Structure 1
């Protein structure tokens, strides 16, 4: 994957700094809310709110600090050096917002998805569809033949990931471990939903119930393996964003388009797509509301970024 356009800034180049704790708390809450909805990715919210590259960089520096602390050289000094490069005014409020949202809305959101599936899917279809313009804009536009191929590759990948047949696995520790590691990758990849992947293997409801009921054993085991997956995907995405930023954004745009399959409002119990129902005007209206909400959020973010010195 090669780009002729200018690459992303090197790792040591300062990224835009989001230093408003309240704003970052709200960004984290948004990410936490959408991560409980099958078909929607927290990475999409990170892209739309303008913190995606900076969040990947922060994740890389935190994991690099842990590695230096364990392997050296100069363990303490090396770890401190990496941690000084983290924008903690972004990371800490973001984590608090995510945790608060997950712990408070996991149960109600699961109930809404279960009781009003078509309505919720239509709304989130619009939210994700409206978000596709963000990686398109960040790629620089004016795609050529190779980039159109990358877009198609991403779209096919998103379609395949969201066409996985649903199954039901016993939530044993050795089933939860790989599921958590893979699902958390979707937290980083816009368009791919960790909740949807958990739903595909039958672990969506058990995981939400564990959070809602404060099952600390399940939560700790899930969190441990999610951390393993997060370390791997953050390292990979940082390499791609640093060396192939334009191509990566093109692929992510395709991935988000292909993943819209999981948010088609009319589906049967097995997830197979059906034709539009008689309520299609309402579903279309909800989707348009979702698109408008994302564009409003993008506009607000761009205005705030313009005011940042």
Structure 2
């Protein structure tokens, strides 16, 4: 599944969006990848890149070369650079915004995630009762998960850092479940942001190693599911994204319990407006992505046109 490669600046900007999303509890970089049309191609490239070292350790040089050749480096390298940049900058900027404007930021991202639900839904060829059941189950699971209260672990051991990174990175590439949120549940969110700000090399090296292991294993599973059970996987993603909206409700207490909107009608109106703006923005982005994919129709030898692998598959076909 190879998406058409854009100029490096475009993929770098996409990486900035993904990395910025990954810093925010309740928002997933995987959701952004799905919206901008690179999700399946990215998963395939990550799986291939993660398989290469394993082949090399087995002494399979030819297999290593084949795996590396499967990676869309023109996509992966600028995308990774954008993600790293956004994580570095976002670790300073976004926590401040989330602390100062919590309801407004949550509302904006609530609209973004709600608007993006249509993306995986449209990739299901034909919706059945089984798909609806998967959506419901995944939605309930995500709703319960994101309702777990945050924890704090001031001095985590390196083993805990490694394991937490392996789990959190899976959420970062899984639409609907936020890696930053899982770090909060595991008690390492503030510690990890602090390590980024202070450049704690030891902590960051262990974290990156854990993330690399988790990413390689989970990408392999995801690619298998997308290849063998595409529509069911997309249905599960719809449910996960829908259930995760609980974490983005603008008014939550410290333990993630729901609070009613404030009596200030003006403040409520501003929050609602931001949610609508977020919904409208993601709708425009998905339409622009679809238009770009339509422009990438490439002729087959018989003169017909083939759509890029990441084009949403209309239902009912």
User: Distance in 1 between the 2:101 and 2:282 partners?
Assistant: 21
2:120 is matched with which residue: 128, 135, 145? 135
CA drift of 1:210 comes to 1.0
Query: Quick one: distance in 2 between partners of 1:265 and 1:302?
Result: 30
The alpha-carbon deviation at position 257 of structure 1 amounts to 0.3
Pick from 99, 110, 113 the counterpart of residue 125 of structure 1.
Answer: 110
Q: Which residue of 2 aligns with 1:258?
A: 243
CA distance in 2, matches of 1:83, 1:166: 39
Q: What is the aligned counterpart of 1:55 among 38, 42, 47?
A: 42
What TM-score does the superposition give when structure 2 sets the normalisation length?
A: 0.89
Residue aligning to 2:284 = 296
How big is each residue's C-alpha offset from its partner over 1:198-243, in whole Å with a ceiling of 9 and x where there is no partner? 1123211111121122111111111111111111210110110000
Counterpart residue number, 1:26: 13
| Runs ≥4 residues deviating over 3 A | none
**For residue 293 of structure 2, what is the aligned residue in structure 1?**
305
**Any idea what SS the aligned residue of 2:269 has?**
helix
SS at match of 2:227: helix
Shift of 1:116: 1.2
Q: What CA distance in whole angstroms lies between the structure 2 residues aligned with 1:56 and 1:301?
A: 18
Q: Please, which of 181, 193, 196 is the counterpart of residue 196 of structure 1?
A: 181
Corresponding position of 1:10? none
Are 1:149 and 2:136 matched, yes or no? Answer: no
Alignment partners' CA distance in 1, 2:49 and 2:6: 18
CA distance in 1, matches of 2:4, 2:72: 7
Counterpart Cα distance in 2 of 1:227 and 1:104:
21
Alpha-carbon offset, residue 173 of structure 1 = 1.5
Provide the aligned C-alpha RMSD in A: 1.3
2:93, 2:173 → 1: CA distance?
24
Q: Aligned runs of 1:67-216 on 2, under 5 Å?
A: 67-72=54-59, 75-140=60-125, 142-170=126-154, 171-216=156-201
Question: Deviation at 1:122?
Answer: 0.6
Distance 1:259 1:33 in 2: 18
Q: Is 2:223 aligned against 1:235?
A: no
1:224 to 185, 209, 215: 209
Alpha-carbon distance in 1 for matches of 2:144, 2:277: 27
Tell me the alpha carbon deviations over residues 144-199 of structure 1, each in whole angstroms, 9 at most, x when there is no partner: 21111111011011112201122222322132222111111111110100101111
> Does residue 281 of the first structure (1) align with residue 281 of the second (2)?
no
Question: Residue deviations 1:117-152, cap 9 Å, x none?
Answer: 111111110111111110001113x52211111110
Give the SS at the match of 2:177. Answer: coil
2:258 is paired with a residue whose SS is coil
**Count of residue correspondences:** 293
Equivalent-residue separation in structure 2 for 1:38 and 1:155 (angstroms): 18
Residues of 2 paired with 1:43 and 1:50: CA distance?
11
Is there any run of 5+ residues in structure 2 with no aligned partner, and where?
299-317
8 Å CA contact retained: 2:2, 2:72: no
TM-superposed CA distance for 1:70, in Å, is 0.9
Gaps of 5+ in 1: 1-13
